[in-house]
Every structure is written in structure tokens, then in C-alpha cells.
Structure 1
Amino acid sequence: IRVLKLKLGTAYMEIRCSLVHISLGDEEHIPYEAISYTWGKYYANPLHDGRVAGQLSQYIVCNGTWTRVSSSLSHALQTFRLPDRARILWADALCINQQDDEEKSYQVGLMQSIYRRAAHVLVWIG
């Protein structure tokens, strides 16, 4: 699976992270914390004449590239970020390739194991 290395920072710094691969089957894998969060509030998307709901979003820097994430996830990352060291996290929207339906299906099947093997589960309700 992929986990997210959230770079250290203070409240108002941009969020920076990178993705790292680990093996769930390896008992010596890098310890990580899973984030459980709401996907955020939806609004009518004006690009689709209000017929399609879109998600309020913000940008973070992931692997050196500006990446759009839900406002809810952005706020969770900002809250859980540490000021003195990086933090290893798993968040579905970033750690699962949302553009690959086959990967999404496979990874969703692993979510119980992903949460069970996490050192901690951090809950963000906004």
C-alpha cells in the first residue's frame, strides 16, 4: 500500500507530503496512522449546470506536485501535522489512486486490514 509522509509544519504553512510504498504483510513495516474522516461538504457544480455535485477542495503539495484534496482532508492533515517531525499517515483519497477503478476496488478490499494494522486511527469529523 501507499502511505503518506506528511512533512512537519506549523498551522499556516502549506501542506507538503510524499507517498511511500509499504507492505502490509511485512510485520516490520513502517508504523503508520490511518485517518478516518468525512469526505466533506458538497455543493452544486456550476460547470455542470448545477446537476452534478462537486466537492469543496483545496490544494496541497504531494510528491512535488499541487494536488487537489477535499477541504475536510486538507483540514485533517493541517490539524494532525506535527511541528517538529514528519508523520506517516494513510488517507484513502491520497493513498489509493482514485483514477484507477481496478486499484480502488482492490484497495477497498484491504481497508479493514489497513485500519487494523495502523498504529493508531485518527478521526476527523471537521
Structure 2
Amino acid sequence: QIRLLTIHPSDEDTSPLSYSLDYKSLFKAPPFAALLYCWGKLKDEVNITVNSLTVPVTANLYSALMRLRAEGLKCVWVDALCINQQDKDEKSYQVKRMGAIFQKAD
């Protein structure tokens, strides 16, 4: 299983980003894009909402997510958000699966 961010639609391109983070079977997952962490300066963080919680992301990642939403994409996998970075076992397991994740991604 992997976690996927489901993009909440918005009527305006400038509306704040809001997502749900849910577990999905990799091979039964809906179409999704995959992004490796978009690096940037920590001082340039922007907040998004994930499962009703405020989560800081870099400005670069925020821009990428805004573009994906504007293109009408429904789901996205981002290593920094979809892998529990605090759980070393999960992180190790998921990193080994990244090849399969990127093969499955659109």
C-alpha cells in the first residue's frame, strides 16, 4: 500500500491547497502523478491543508501542487508527504518501492 494525496477541487486557481491523505493499493490506485521532494529554502514555506491539518511545504512544492490542481489532476504521490519521514522502517520500505510507484504514475 501507498499513501496518495487526493486534491480537493477549487473554483479558483488561487484558492488554498487542500488534500486528503489516504492509503491505496499501488496496483489498484487511481491515476496519479508522482513527485520527488521539491527542495527549497525552509524560510519560503507555504501551508497546505492535509486531512484538515496545516502542513508546511516548500514554495517549490507548493507551486508544483498548484500547477497539478490547475491541470485537473485528482491524485498525487509526493515522497515528503506520502511517506512517514519519522518512521525509519516505513521510510526504508517505501524508498525501495519508489521504482514501482514511478512506473505506475502517469
Q: Which TM-score band applies after superposition, normalised by the shorter structure?
A: 0.7 to 0.9
Q: Any stretches of 5+ residues in structure 2 without a counterpart?
A: none
Residue number in structure 2 paired with 1:60? 48
Q: Any stretches of 5+ residues in structure 1 without a counterpart?
A: 43-53, 121-126
In terms of fraction of residues, the more helix-rich structure is 2
Aligned residue pairs: how many?
104
Mapped pair 1:35 → 2:44: no
Percent identity, please. Answer: 37
Mapped pair 1:100 → 2:100: no
**Distance apart, 1:57 and its partner CA:** 1.3
1:87 and 1:18 map into 2 onto residues whose CA distance is 11
Residue number in structure 1 paired with 2:17? 15
Bigger radius of gyration, 1 or 2?
Answer: 1
**Distance apart, 1:68 and its partner CA:** 1.0
Structure 2 residue matching 1:81: 3-state secondary structure: helix
- TM-aligned CA distance change 1:2 to 1:69, over 3 Å: same
TM-score by length of 2: 0.84
Output the aligned Cα RMSD: 2.0
- TM-aligned CA distance change 1:108 to 1:55, over 3 Å: farther
TM-score by length of 1: 0.72
